Amino acid sequence: MEQVQVRAHAKINLAIDVVGKRTDGYHDLKMIMQSLALHDTLTLTKRQEAGVTIASNSTRMPLDETNIACKAAKFMIDSFSLRQGVHIDVFKRIPIAAGLAGGSSNAAAVLCGINEMFALGLTKGKLTEIGKILGADVPYCICGGTMLAEGIGDILTPLPKHPKTVVVLAKPQRGMSTPKVFGKFSREQAGEKHPDFATILSGLETSDIDKVSRGIMSGMANVLESVTAAERPIINDIKAEFLRNGAKCALMSGSGPTVFAYFADERQANIAAAALRRKFSQLNEIIVTSIE
Ligand code: C5P
């Protein structure tokens, strides 16, 4: 096979709690992860020359070896002594540095794509082991769906499938650095509140979107919001505007700064997206998508 096309889906977090700090600089987490229909499309092509090249429709993505998709390809080529090189073309739709796993999902897609294109026969378990070396969210991105993620985010337990829902994403202009957010996180600042895992999980088990939404809105569903929203007050304004426009729930995803909100149907979602575009003219990334 000379070429493969792979989808790299965005993710949101329905809940994030920091349960401990590790000696390796990472944090132990408890999260609920969910993939979205929104995806980048990666086309991988074998090259006769050695090495990895990358191109993209996005002008905001680094097109060199610092790109995590390139790192993933280089890792596979070196680990499996592949003789040919790989060209990666990324059609980007997922906002960058947004808390939506845009980079991690691209890396996951490269691992899966190279496995297929070079017929390496690696199992999902082996691919997730490799993924963990590249980034904490990469194992989840290889699996996708609705998952409880523990450890640094790499210990995955499948959860009941999330009911189909329309989701609107709104990303404040400047991206957010994940290491910076974790570096500033303190339990004192986050306070005593934690995510209401019980209500969200019960909502998933009964496929009750209103209960899932109630769970997201009670407690502090994403403790990292205490850091990011302190730096970007617009996050709280976006959440309030979503709720004023009929959202069932609104929460920051990952380390931010993107806010996601659930809507009853596409019509309400589009009305809310238009209201946000009017109110926050500086937001150029407002996207209507759905739970995958
Ligand atoms: O693994 P990844 O490169 O995506 O993580 C980026 C940074 O986020 C890490 O270097 C670390 O500072 C922080 N992080 C963390 N605990 C996690 C995941 C990420 O502290 N579980």
Tell me the pLDDT tens digit for each residue of 65-91: 999 999 999 999 999 999 999 999 999
Ligand 1 center from residue 3 Cα (angstroms): 32
- Active-site choice (11, 92, 171, 211): 11
What is the reported pLDDT for 170?
Answer: 98
Cβ neighbours of residue 43 under 8 Å, at least 6 residues apart? Answer: 3, 4, 5, 88, 89, 91
What is the reported pLDDT for 71?
Answer: 98
Tokens of 191: 């306070």
- 280 and 241 in contact (C-beta within 8 Å)? yes
Task: Give the whole-angstrom CA distance, residue 52 versus residue 71.
Answer: 9
Ligand 1 center from residue 102 Cα (angstroms): 14
When pLDDT is averaged across residues 96-125 and rounded to a whole number, the result is 97
Is 135 touching ligand 1 by the criterion CB < 6 Å?
yes
When pLDDT is averaged across residues 116-138 and rounded to a whole number, the result is 97
Is 196 touching ligand 1 by the criterion CB < 6 Å?
no
- Active-site choice (40, 137, 154, 196): 137
Verify whether residue 137 is a known catalytic residue: yes
What is the reported pLDDT for 270?
Answer: 98
Which atom of ligand 1 lies nearest, measured to the CA of 137? 4
Mean pLDDT of the chain: 96
Look at residues 132, 169, 134, 142 and name the one whose alpha carbon lies nearest to residue 38. 169
- 92 and 57 in contact (C-beta within 8 Å)? yes
Ligand 1 center from residue 144 Cα (angstroms): 19
- 146 and 32 in contact (C-beta within 8 Å)? yes
Give the residue, out of 33, 132, 178, 186, with the most ligand 1 atoms within 8 A of its beta carbon, to mutate for a pocket test: 178
Alpha-carbon radius of gyration of the chain: 19
Is 29 touching ligand 1 by the criterion CB < 6 Å?
yes
What is the reported pLDDT for 189?
Answer: 78
When pLDDT is averaged across residues 93-117 and rounded to a whole number, the result is 97
Give the predicted TM-score (pTM) of the model.
0.96
Tokens of 222: 């994403």
Task: Give the whole-angstrom CA distance, residue 264 versus residue 204.
Answer: 16
Verify whether residue 11 is a known catalytic residue: yes
Kindly tell me the burial class for residue 276, based on how many C-beta atoms sit within 10 Å of its own C-beta (0-12, 13-18, 19 or more): buried
When pLDDT is averaged across residues 133-144 and rounded to a whole number, the result is 98
Look at residues 191, 186, 211 and name the one whose alpha carbon lies nearest to residue 199. 211
What is the reported pLDDT for 94?
Answer: 98
What is the reported pLDDT for 1?
Answer: 87
Instruction: Tell me which residue has its CA closest to atom 4 in ligand 1.
Output: 135
Instruction: Tell me which residue has its CA closest to atom 15 in ligand 1.
Output: 26
Instruction: Read off the amino acid at residue 159.
Output: L
What is the reported pLDDT for 192?
Answer: 83
Strands 259-263, 249-252: pairing kind: antiparallel
Confidence band (pLDDT; 50, 70, 90) for 200? very high
Task: Give the whole-angstrom CA distance, residue 164 versus residue 174.
Answer: 30
Ligand 1 center from residue 278 Cα (angstroms): 35
Instruction: Read off the amino acid at residue 118.
Output: F
When pLDDT is averaged across residues 135-146 and rounded to a whole number, the result is 98
Instruction: Tell me which residue has its CA closest to atom 2 in ligand 1.
Output: 135
Tokens of 290: 């759905």
Nearest 5°: phi and psi at 100? -115, 10
Residue 184 has pLDDT above 80, yes or no: yes
Residue 190 has pLDDT above 80, yes or no: no
